Amino acid sequence: MAGLLEKERIIAGPGFNRWLVPPAALCIHLCIGMAYGFSVFWKPLGGALVGPDGKPLAACAAGATTFWDKLGGTVRALTATDCNWTQFDLGWMYTLFFVLLGCSAALWGGWLERSGPRKAAFVSTLCWCGGLLISALGVSMHQLWMMWVGSGVIGGIGLGLGYISPVSTLIKWFPDRRGMATGMAIMGFGGGAMIGSPFATLLMNTFKTPTSPGVWQTFVTMAVVYFVFMMIGAFGYRVPPTGWKPAGWTPPPAKESQSMITQNHVHLRNAHRTPQFWLLWIVLCMNVSAGIGIIGAASPMLQETFGGQLFGNPEVGFGQFTDENKAAAAAVGAGFVGLISLLNIFGRIAWASSSDKLGRKATYFIFFALGTALYAFASLSADWRSMALFVGSFCIIASMYGGGFATIPAYLADMFGTQFVGAIHGRLLTAWSTAGILGPVVVNYLHDTRKEQGVPFDQIYGPIFYVLAGMLVVGFVANLMVRPVAAKWFMSDEELASERKLAHEKAAAAAVGGAGSGVAAGGSRGIAVLFWLLVGVPLAWGVWVTVTKALILFK
């Protein structure tokens, strides 16, 4: 098994079709992307323990009102078996997911570059699926700490390794379309929840009993299914020989949109010493912070802002909702979340692909300038009571949120070269970890503070939008300051040759063409079609389910 994982074993030979690599990456990302959809388990787990009367037991933090009281309840919930978990208890898993994602990507990115994507994806599979199995045991024993350790910590490490495993490889396979290549893979991370959430709901409905919500059985089933898919992806990875280029392609002459693209390489140990790294860190952090907080609150935001207008009774405010009103509004809110999910995924491939023509810096200028304007416009749309304009604004914002994730690896390759781009991307993902805390904390704190001050529900979010717009202005300034990397940071030919030897790279037999030209033989093309169907069918099913939910917005 160890031999099959070595980088020397996955260097592509003549005739390999490079279009086999993106679906391999999607096999990994569609599975680990379920991290976004874990909230589907919160309600069932919150009522997992029932008393003799058939009603759920009280929460471990019952009666807690302040943050510290709730935190004390969470400490008790970690090992208690006589009380239920709250969303506050379970929600810490989100924090663990994305903090560990950034930390593991930063710590082991250099190892990934030398060991290759297959070994990294294999370890990612063991961590993600093994974490699900540990979580299943934790649910069956009602031990919250096992869920935190299993999926949150071990699974979070799997997220980091799986997320960056295809980045460097895809950029090297598609030097002619870097943005499109990374967009295809990272699109899968956004689509993972779109498939995983309804799949998990279907499984829980199958396994649930009067005394069990069927969560641990769902975890076990998903671990098995994900293991198969992720192993297919891991063993589908191939890397091109050093110096390989697509047949008939030569780097185009420099033009304005490509003036930031270098043909040299910066070593991992030096990347973080450049101002460009930290400027791009701010760029990613601000783009994510401004999006993740509001996207996480999308459903309640729509309900509080438009109240009874969601179900044809604009005179009823959110604070006056009956149980029937709440159910109707929640259905519309779910449709809004589904629509945002679709645009998030679409933006990953569309914006990243367009950056190949526009240039990465110009693409981020669009994100920040248009995003700032749209947040201001969303506030005005709420004042005008125009739900169509409000929803449209956030659909575009969601597309740019996803596009920012997919475009940043290509931006890094342009600035620092391709030799260490996966590892450098891993270190930059600490910006995502930071944003995963900063964005939600800012939005939730401002929301709760204004609510306690007695601000009407439909006026709570307006000032919040302007704060988020301010974050985008900071990102705009950071992007404006990005310049080409100084020549002193580039590796010499001797350093590059030594590093390639350490990474077990093999020179291409011919500089152009050869493996992966994209014009494959019939058999290779047929395998590529089947591989794309393997990931395309589940993705299409997830889109169909999401569109079905989103249609309620247009009724």
The tens digit of pLDDT for each residue in 408-423 reads: 999 999 999 989 998 9
**Residue pLDDT, tens place only, 178-201:** 899 888 878 888 888 889 888 998
Look at residue 517 and tell me whether its pLDDT is greater than 50.
no
More confident residue, 247 or 542: 542
The reported pLDDT for the residue numbered 297 is: 79
Going 77 to 80 to 81 to 83, the CA torsion angle's sign is: negative
Look at residue 390 and tell me whether its pLDDT is greater than 80.
yes
More confident residue, 96 or 481: 481
Look at residue 253 and tell me whether its pLDDT is greater than 70.
no
The reported pLDDT for the residue numbered 515 is: 46
* Selection from 407, 442, 418 nearest residue 175 by Cα: 418
Alpha helices in 33-116 (DSSP H): 42-46, 67-77, 87-115
The reported pLDDT for the residue numbered 259 is: 60
**Banded model confidence at residue 2, pLDDT cuts 50, 70, 90:** low
Q: Which helix (H) or strand (E) holds 438?
A: helix 430-452
Look at residue 519 and tell me whether its pLDDT is greater than 60.
no
The region of weakest confidence among 10-24, 42-56, 95-109, 170-184 is 42-56
Backbone phi and psi for residue 50, each to the nearest 5 degrees, phi listed first: -120, 150
The reported pLDDT for the residue numbered 555 is: 67
**Banded model confidence at residue 151, pLDDT cuts 50, 70, 90:** very high
Average pLDDT value for residue range 149-156: 94
What's at 282, amino acid-wise? I
The reported pLDDT for the residue numbered 363 is: 97
Give the Cα separation of 10 and 431 in Å (integer): 31
How many whole angstroms from its chain centre is CA 165? 14
C-beta separation of 120 from 109 below 8 A: no
Look at residue 31 and tell me whether its pLDDT is greater than 80.
yes
Residue ranges per structural domain of the chain: 22-51+87-244+257-489+530-554
Look at residue 511 and tell me whether its pLDDT is greater than 50.
no
Chain mean pLDDT for the chain: 88
Torsion of CA 84, 87, 92, 94, to 10 degrees: 130
The reported pLDDT for the residue numbered 522 is: 47
pTM confidence score: 0.87
Give the Cα separation of 39 and 90 in Å (integer): 9
Long-range contacts of range 539-543, CB-CB < 8 Å, 24 or more positions apart?
Answer: 539/26, 539/30, 539/188, 539/191, 539/194, 539/195, 541/195, 542/191, 542/194, 542/195, 542/198, 543/194, 543/342
Give the Cα separation of 123 and 131 in Å (integer): 12
Give the Cα separation of 150 and 144 in Å (integer): 10
The reported pLDDT for the residue numbered 506 is: 67
Look at residue 536 and tell me whether its pLDDT is greater than 90.
yes
C-beta separation of 347 from 291 below 8 A: no
The reported pLDDT for the residue numbered 516 is: 44
The reported pLDDT for the residue numbered 338 is: 83
The reported pLDDT for the residue numbered 387 is: 92
The share of the chain scoring above pLDDT 90, in percent, equals 49
Count of residues in the chain: 555
**Residue pLDDT, tens place only, 257-287:** 456 788 889 999 999 999 999 999 999 999 9
Average pLDDT value for residue range 312-324: 87
The reported pLDDT for the residue numbered 136 is: 96
The reported pLDDT for the residue numbered 474 is: 98
**364 burial level (CB within 10 Å; 0-12, 13-18, 19+):** buried
The reported pLDDT for the residue numbered 508 is: 56
CATH class for the region spanning 22-51+87-244+257-489+530-554: mainly alpha
